[in-house]
Amino acid sequence: MRGAWLDEGKLTYREDLEEPAGEAVVTVMLAGICGTDLELLHGYAGFHGIPGHEFVGRVERSADRPDLVGRRVVGEINVACGDCATCHAGRPTHCERRSVVGIRRHPGCFAERLALPVANLHLVPDSVPDEVAVFAEPAAAALHVLDAVSPQAGERVLVVGTGRLGILVARALLTTPADVRVLARNQARLPRLASLGLPATLEAAPGSCDVVVDCSGTAEGLALARAAVRPAGTLLLKGTHVGAASLDATSLVVDEVRVIGSRCGRFAPALRALASGELQVDDLVEARYPLSDCGRAFEHAGRPGALKVLLES
């Protein structure tokens, strides 16, 4: 099988990959490169194998569910054991024994095919094109912010970090009645943020915001985000950090700041938001590369300010 292979911080294109085996085998049509994939290259999660976790594909075979063959699907990335205390408690994304597609002990989607449990698959409505459906996973992650906070009219919400994830998170928050801004690093960024429909601010006064979401993935961004939270406000951590980022614990106590971690979200509401256009993503695709050009695609995705780069098999 053809696909990308990651080992010891190096990405290569190979044509000798092992065919996937599992409950359902899915032919990948489009796959998206995200910040996590770039971090895997730099050692995040110690992953080696086929990377990639954002995809839309078509079920090629499924012994138990032949009715799914030929159907267009997206897939949840946490593969839970179904049997541990956490799974029994209804929190499969936190399964103690989980593997994660393209991130932890499970081959990813930057290949012609991948295997997944049937339970992880979601049918894509016919009205949603591949270029939109491929955003199901990051859209779910972005909308998951709204499972943690529901900012009200008059509340000030700030998003720090305007990369791929930050843009989606800001758009998710803009569906609420709150006053949502993204923090622009400098004047030069303003036109681009405006073209993406994101209200921007060049600075956030310390303690001025009710809710701040850090999507920066940097220690500097996290510090800016923390400073902007008002006493008894909420700091939501969305970006993954490769190194250790620090927060002053005493100031969190004194200011009674609520700190919330946020990772993967629910696919069903994400697909609904993509189908209805409530969450717009079609303007976020920056480039497409064939699978055989995965090296160049990763290089492109890693450029500062790059939007979504897709791989097609």
Summarize as ranges the residues that interact with Zn ion (CB under 5 A): 34, 36, 80-81, 84, 87, 95
Tokens of 139: 């859209």
Tokens of 50: 């086929």
Q: How many residues does the chain have?
A: 313
Q: Cα(234)–Cα(118) distance, rounded to whole angstroms? A: 37
| Cβ distance to Zn ion smaller for residue 80 or 193 | 80
| Cβ distance to Zn ion smaller for residue 119 or 202 | 119
Which helix or strand (DSSP H or E) is residue 253 part of?
Answer: helix 249-254
| Cβ distance to Zn ion smaller for residue 3 or 35 | 35
8 Å CB contact between 203 and 226 = no
∠ at Cα 205 (199, 209), nearest 5°? Answer: 65
| Cβ distance to Zn ion smaller for residue 105 or 150 | 105
| Cβ distance to Zn ion smaller for residue 95 or 274 | 95
CB neighbours of residue 64 within 10 Å: 10
| Cβ distance to Zn ion smaller for residue 26 or 87 | 87
Q: Supply the minimum distance, in Å, between the C-beta of residue 134 and Zn ion.
A: 11
Tokens of 68: 């799914």
| Cβ distance to Zn ion smaller for residue 31 or 95 | 95
8 Å CB contact between 179 and 155 = yes
Q: How far apart are the first and last CA of the chain?
A: 11
CA atoms lying within 13 Å on the CB side of residue 134: 24
Q: Supply the minimum distance, in Å, between the C-beta of residue 98 and Zn ion.
A: 6
Q: Cα(243)–Cα(38) distance, rounded to whole angstroms? A: 14
What does DSSP assign to residue 111? B
What does DSSP assign to residue 18? P
Q: Supply the minimum distance, in Å, between the C-beta of residue 153 and Zn ion.
A: 31
Q: Supply the minimum distance, in Å, between the C-beta of residue 188 and Zn ion.
A: 27
Q: Supply the minimum distance, in Å, between the C-beta of residue 142 and Zn ion.
A: 10
For residue 304, what are the CA distances in angstroms to 161, 162, 299, 308? 12, 11, 10, 12
Q: Supply the minimum distance, in Å, between the C-beta of residue 268 and Zn ion.
A: 18
| Cβ distance to Zn ion smaller for residue 28 or 200 | 28
Q: Cα(158)–Cα(213) distance, rounded to whole angstroms? A: 6
Q: Supply the minimum distance, in Å, between the C-beta of residue 72 and Zn ion.
A: 20
Q: Supply the minimum distance, in Å, between the C-beta of residue 34 and Zn ion.
A: 3
Tokens of 16: 């000798």
